[in-house]
Structure 1
Amino acid sequence: MVSAKTGKGCGGLCAEGVGFDFTMAFQPIVDADTGTPWAHEALVRGPAGQGAGWVLGQVTNDTRYAFDQSCRVKAIELASRLGLRDAKLSINFLPNAVYEAETCIRATLAAAARTGFPPDRIIFEVTENERVVDRAHLQSIFTEYKRQGFLTAIDDFGSGYSGLNLLAEFQPDILKLDMELTRNIDADRTRRSIVAAILTVCRDLGITPVAEGVETAAEARALRDLGITLMQGYLFAKPALEALVPRTDTAYEPA
């Protein structure tokens, strides 16, 4: 576990530190046809497994940058140590903590080079729930990350501040549908219609959809029938503290 107090591994960029220790849990994004992880999302946790709220509640405006940098490096180093090889690694980032995309990506690139982790298997997720102060700035971040070979994703799509307006301005590689859209979708015609419309947009723009928060077999089958193959949720696996779930026994062919 890398200490956030020292920022060890951040190439000097995290020298000020964030004042507390944290680690990562990993939850797979599963190919529902096979049960095989397509990616693993790195989720912040306290050193004793405390939830993300415990960690994020300690981040201040003064430590936001150091925390964002430490999360990236920690996720890459820990995933590499755990033997992540074939699947992708998804990392949440804080766009308001990035003052200049080209400069602030150096620690990530250094960690990837040091561990031998291919940049083209790293996904950077920006959550729709975080208010974007400067959209032109976010566009510059997405552009730079794509130039460096990373994949980009909008997380929690369908909740938060921006909705389709955010998608109109930023076309990521991956769109993660919020659990509020997928919950009980098997029994909810309105949700199915909304998700079907979003999937049409994804197909037109060449965006890969991922369904989040999948908890029941009926939800998974309904999503698979709509054309979604990549899913994440407790039905497949809960986040594992400092561990990777190699595969699940759950697979859902379309009806």
Structure 2
Amino acid sequence: MISASQQPKPCSACQNGQSLGFDFTMAFQPIVDIRDNSIYAYEALVRGLDGSGAGGILAQVNDSNRYSFDQSCRVKAVELAARLNVPCFLSINFMPNAVYQAATCIRATLEAARRVGFPADRLIFEVTENERVVDHGHLKAIMTEYKRQGFMTAIDDFGAGYAGLNLLAEFQPDIIKLDMEIIRDIDQHPVRQAIVQGIIGVARTLNIDIIAEGIESTGELEFLKGLGVHLFQGYLFAKPAFQELPEVNWS
């Protein structure tokens, strides 16, 4: 892990970033490991100050404040995680189109982690497949740099976005998070079963872990367990909790 003091000096985007003009906070949802009923990670999810969903906040993000918003999300997630004594991995979503230079844009995150005492080696950076990325080479460079620095990386919403397997062919993250729509009622849907089995097979070949997100029924859980999946996220276990860590239903 490269320390903050070893990072290059901030680029002009870091120095001249626009102020947001709005505020927000985070909710936390656990990712559970059913092998030993432990919590593998908490994902930090954007929320309004009144607890409202991410939509109203994301609607205010534009080209002039995207960088500041992305940086603020990372710092706020780390600060709240430290305050809540998160004992495991912390998963943070990032916007690749807001990252100018991966090695310098990570600096504020590392400084925040050091300031609040959160171990930087417990950070996971998720990029959503739903965000259209114009320059896949740039995204590959970001993910490669994060892995080089010792961070875990993940592709969120896999199977729902623009790139699919083409994105996976460009770089191999540590984790793939299966999109909730592709696993909805999978125990009753042979076509989805075949697609997910194929994705899991590719992931195993590439030594990539699978997280099934959006789990809402025991049928979905049991079918995916049968395929060897052991990391899960969804309402069946816990809904996101506003500025706190939720209790987990292990039944």
TM-score by length of 1: 0.90
Give the counterpart letter for 2:236 in structure 1.
Answer: L
Paired with 2:15 and 2:25, the residues of 1 have a C-alpha distance of: 19
- Please give the per-residue CA displacement for 1:75-116, whole angstroms capped at 9, x wherever unaligned: 00100000112x110000000000111110100111111122
What 5-or-longer segments of structure 2 have no aligned partner? 1-13
- Indicate yes or no: 2:37 matched with 1:35: yes
Query: 1:172: Cα distance to partner?
Result: 0.3
Aligned CA RMSD, in angstroms, stands at 1.3
Structure 1 residue 234: Cα displacement: 0.5
What's the counterpart of residue 207 of structure 2? 206
Cα 1:173/1:13, change in 2 over 3 Å: farther
**Which deviates the most, 28-37 or 129-138?**
28-37
CA distance in 2, matches of 1:249, 1:99: 41
Letter in 2 for 1:17: S
Larger mean CA deviation between 238-247 and 157-166 belongs to 238-247
Alignment of 1:65-80 (within 5 A): 65-80=67-82
Q: How do residues 23-102 of structure 1 correspond to structure 2 at under 5 angstroms?
A: 23-85=25-87, 87-102=88-103
What is the SS of the residue equivalent to 1:155?
strand
Task: Give the Cα separation in 2 of the matches to 1:180 and 1:206.
Answer: 24
Residues of 2 paired with 1:48 and 1:104: CA distance? 29
| Closer, same or farther: CA 108–91 of 1 in aligned 2, 3 Å | same
The whole-number CA distance in structure 2 between the counterparts of 1:192 and 1:114 is 45
Q: Given the alignment of the two structures, is residue 126 of structure 1 paired with residue 127 of structure 2, yes or no? A: yes
The DSSP-based 3-state class of the residue aligned with 2:204 is helix
Q: CA deviation at 1:148?
A: 1.4
How far apart are 1:13 and its partner, in Å?
5.4
Task: Count residues with an aligned counterpart.
Answer: 238
TM-score, scaled to structure 2: 0.91
Please give the secondary structure, in 1, of the residue aligned with 2:92.
strand
SS of residue paired to 2:147:
helix
Q: Distance in 2 between matches of 1:137 and 1:186?
A: 38
Q: Distance in 1 between matches of 2:118 and 2:203?
A: 28
C-alpha distance in structure 2 between counterparts of 1:210 and 1:74, whole Å: 24
Q: Point out 4+ residue stretches in structure 1 off by more than 6 angstroms.
A: none
Corresponding residue of 2:245: 244
CA distance in 2, matches of 1:27, 1:216: 17
Q: Is the 8 A contact 1:209 1:228 kept in 2?
A: yes
% identical equivalent positions: 62
Q: CA deviation at 1:33?
A: 3.2
